[in-house]
Amino acid sequence: MKPIIVLMTNILRLDDHPALAEACDSGAPVVPLYIFDEAAMGRWVPGGARRWWLQGALKSLTADLAAMGSKLIVARGDTVAVLQKAMQQTGAGAIYLTRGYSPYERETEQAVHAYAVENDLLCRRFAGNLLLEPEMVENKQGRPYEVFTPFWRRACELIDDVAPLDAPEDMAAPDSWPESLPLDALEFAPMPAFWADPIAEVWQPGEAAARERLSDFLEEAAATYPKMRDYPAVEATSRLSPYLVSGEISPRRIWYETQRYIAANEASASGASGFLREVGWREFSYHLLFHFPHMMRAPLKERFADFPWRAGDGKALNEWQKGLTGFPIVDAGMRQLWQTGWMHNRVRMVVASFLVKDMLWHWHEGEDWFWDTLVDADPANNSASWQWVAGCGADAAPYFRIFNPIAQGEKFDKDGGYIRTYVPELADMPNDYIHKPFEAPEGVLRMAGVELGKTYPRPMLDRKAARERALAALGTIKK
Ligand SMILES: Cc1cc2nc3c(=O)[nH]c(=O)nc-3n(C[C@H](O)[C@H](O)[C@H](O)COP(=O)(O)OP(=O)(O)OC[C@H]3O[C@@H](n4cnc5c(N)ncnc54)[C@H](O)[C@@H]3O)c2cc1C
């Protein structure tokens, strides 16, 4: 039998991998192939933190395949050119791939398909990284949903018996392997140690780590998820996002294990369903990206194309990026991002609102910074979420709803635990002032060892004036 090449680029796992399972079941030799095609991704080439992550995920996949007597072939360059060479070197007769939803993945898929047709090769495309394919969920008018709640209601009706596939037990090797690059040749880990080392302390990429995280989350936090998920000082969410981005765990596996947990723990059912609803937001983002592929850069609400974003100086943007705005919850979030490659969802909303509303900077600036620094930077979730906060996305928070960083801090980090962790220069501030050190009496600041403007910045802007400026800007694009 001729070997089958299985493209692993967007699905770095063995579990619940339909393309791989089908190839293995056929009994043909299987060649797992990862291609890093920078030109196809263009500006969406993975950022620094993601590249660090991918290096770890690929290392882990290499080891998992080796344990089965197989091998991960690693290549860099144009997908079709790499495939052509690999087909020649192995005598393969078929390409199996997992469907992607971003514009660059769709274009690459089309190119692979055209190449296969021209050369009389079999090319099969499998689903693998969503619960439901985007074409399956449509409203009564046959149109894509643009509001989350009806989308998720319909999706839940359509998701029935989810039975994820186990990892293959056998994988036949080809007589000759195509050439493969060492992982380092991808230059995925060029991050300086001062950036990468703290991230490595927090995260363990790879399929096994993802499965462990899911089961720990179900055991320890799923029951209280809806109640606790908004408190950034508490580890109450799954932290599965970076694994989902590279397909180290499948949403169907998450769904299945969570349903099993619900069946065994009826009292915790609503907590766990709340968690699945958030996984539903990921589905919704991908649904939007598929139907509105321009959304990675263009506002879904067209009138926002004329929004008068400020072309401010780079200094303010730099202060936001570094967590030096003088607003403690914003600074804690931006520093958590820098130090760990991840930020709590509640705080993501607060820092994003601060950038696009208080500072009036374009959401692209935030999208780009997140793209470079998040280990979970995701083409669908990042753009959908930034548009949601900026008010220009589907089902978005209205632009006039501006998060108050002080009130958000007081509500969700009452005792300031999150701020004390990431903004240590405020660690000794009393709870009453930790969210607004600029209002603290001189004596309180002195006791806490805080000197505003020296040990911790003064607020970079006047919130009242900033709010009025934001609302005035909104007025210019109102219909
Ligand atoms: C400005 C902004 C940018 C964001 N950028 C990204 C991004 O690049 N990548 C990313 O995965 N998420 C992004 N999010 C969404 C969300 O913050 C993260 O998915 C979540 O914090 C990940 O943590 P978790 O895995 O512990 O989530 P959990 O609460 O455990 O949720 C489980 C999974 O559901 C999905 N999910 C949860 N919340 C959301 C949401 N609001 N929108 C879409 N999917 C969600 C994620 O895949 C997540 O892993 C962004 C949110 C904001 C406000």
DSSP symbols for 347-416? HHHHHHHIIIIIS---HHHHHHHHHHH-TT--HHHHHHHHHHHHT-STTPPPTT----HHHHHHHHSTT-
pTM above 0.95, yes or no: yes
pLDDT attached to residue 479: 61
Distance 240 CA to ligand 1 centre (A): 9
Does domain 1-128 bear CATH number 3.40.50.620?
yes
Q: Give bridge partners of residue 122 from the DSSP assignment.
A: 94
Q: Whose CA is nearest to atom 24 of ligand 1?
A: 239
Query: Which range has the top average pLDDT, 92-96, 310-314, 473-477?
Result: 92-96
302-474 has the same fold as 130-163+207-291: no
Q: What is the pLDDT of residues 277-290, one digit of tens each?
A: 999 999 999 999 99
Alpha carbon distances (Å) from 155 to 181, 262, 395: 41, 19, 16
Active site annotation includes 281: yes
Q: Specify the residue for token string 């169907």.
A: 252
Active site annotation includes 278: yes
Q: Is the CB of 345 under 6 A from ligand 1?
A: yes
pLDDT band at 194 (very low <50, low <70, confident <90, very high): confident
Q: Is the CB of 368 under 6 A from ligand 1?
A: no
* CATH topology classification for 302-474: DNA Cyclobutane Dipyrimidine Photolyase, subunit A; domain 3 (1.10.579)
Distance 385 CA to ligand 1 centre (A): 8
pLDDT attached to residue 478: 75
* CATH topology classification for 130-163+207-291: 1.25.40
Q: Which sequence spans correspond to the domains of the chain?
A: 1-128, 130-163+207-291, 302-474
- Helices (runs of H) and strands (runs of E) counted in the chain: 22, 5
For range 445-468, the mean pLDDT: 97
| Cβ–Cβ under 8 Å, residues 285 and 49 | no
Q: Is the CB of 246 under 6 A from ligand 1?
A: no
pLDDT band at 434 (very low <50, low <70, confident <90, very high): very high
pLDDT attached to residue 20: 98
pLDDT attached to residue 175: 95
Alpha helices, DSSP H only, in 67-158? 79-90, 103-118, 148-158
Q: Whose CA is nearest to atom 33 of ligand 1?
A: 279
Q: Which of 79-88, 115-124, 250-259, 266-275 has the lowest mean pLDDT?
A: 266-275
Q: Check whether 432 has a pLDDT greater than 70.
A: yes
| Mean pLDDT score of the chain | 96
Rounded to an integer, what distance in angstroms lies between the CA atom of residue 384 and that of residue 387?
5
pLDDT band at 161 (very low <50, low <70, confident <90, very high): confident
Rounded to an integer, what distance in angstroms lies between the CA atom of residue 131 and that of residue 255?
8
Distance 381 CA to ligand 1 centre (A): 7
pLDDT band at 396 (very low <50, low <70, confident <90, very high): confident
